[in-house]
Homo-oligomer: A and B are copies of this chain.
Amino acid sequence: MKNSESQNNKAQRVSPQTIKRLPAYLMYLQKVAQKGDLSISAPRMGADLEADPTQIVKDLSVTGIKGKPRVGYNVTELIHTIENYLGFNKNNEAFLIGAGKLGQAILSYHELQGFGIRILAAFDIDESKINQSYGNVKILHFKKLGELANRLGISIGILTTPSDKAQEAAEAMVKSGIKAIWNMTSVRLELPKHVIVQNTSMYADVAILLKDYNDSEA
């Protein structure tokens, strides 16, 4: 009953919109911290991010942090609290499946570690790619996935196979013990309910972009 989240296990669900805004606050706060500011107020954040300050306060409150009237929030405390809330400060260990164009880009995408994802190995079926490395991550044969996932206790998988191989690859991932899949393909995966799937489908963003653009032209 004390502070919203932490105490209560059946804590009322936090809206995905709020969760999606938190990383944007984080990036902003890192710039603020770099500037040397020790505290930051919601109105200030709102002005800089062109967002409603009360919404910012509401969003931040889900992490359990408290601000001080007339001062705002302690910047470093706020950063740590959000990172902790989102799991960005952990090393959430993951495998990448399908080391093609996009896969290789992601393997070299070191910013991802700042978002709590650490890729330990990549897997592919293309023999010519096996044992190559990108961004210090080695590509192994897909058939080794099960054994390694099991041995290292990996439960997060990033799926970047071609779309027409996504379903079968995902099923193999689940069989290997992967519990959460970040699906970069444009395919809707049909998997057991207990598997967590997060789709990053560019086409939704393209749709918004083109709609906004074409409407503005009309």
- Which A residues fall within an 8 A CB radius of B? 9, 14, 16, 19-24, 27-28, 49, 86-88, 90, 92, 101-102, 104-105, 108-109, 111-112, 115-117, 155-156, 163, 179-180, 182, 186-188, 196, 198-214, 216, 218
Contact = CB atoms under 8 A, between A and B. Distances in A.
Given A27-B186, A115-B203, A92 B210 contact: yes
Main secondary structure of the interface of A (DSSP, over half): helix
A87 B180 contact: no
A95 B144 CA distance: 40
Contacts of A16: 208
B109 A206 contact: no
19 contacts: A16-B208, A19-B211, A20-B204, A23-B201, A23-B203, A27-B188, A87-B213, A101-B108, A111-B163, A112-B206, A115-B202, A115-B207, A117-B206, A156-B213, A180-B209, A196-B209, A198-B205, A198-B206, A198-B209
A180 B212 contact: yes
Contacts of A49: 188
A205 B188 contact: no
A27 B202 CA distance: 13
Contacts of A111: 163, 186
Contacts of A101: 104-105, 108-109
A109 B102 contact: yes
Contacts of A214: 87, 90, 92
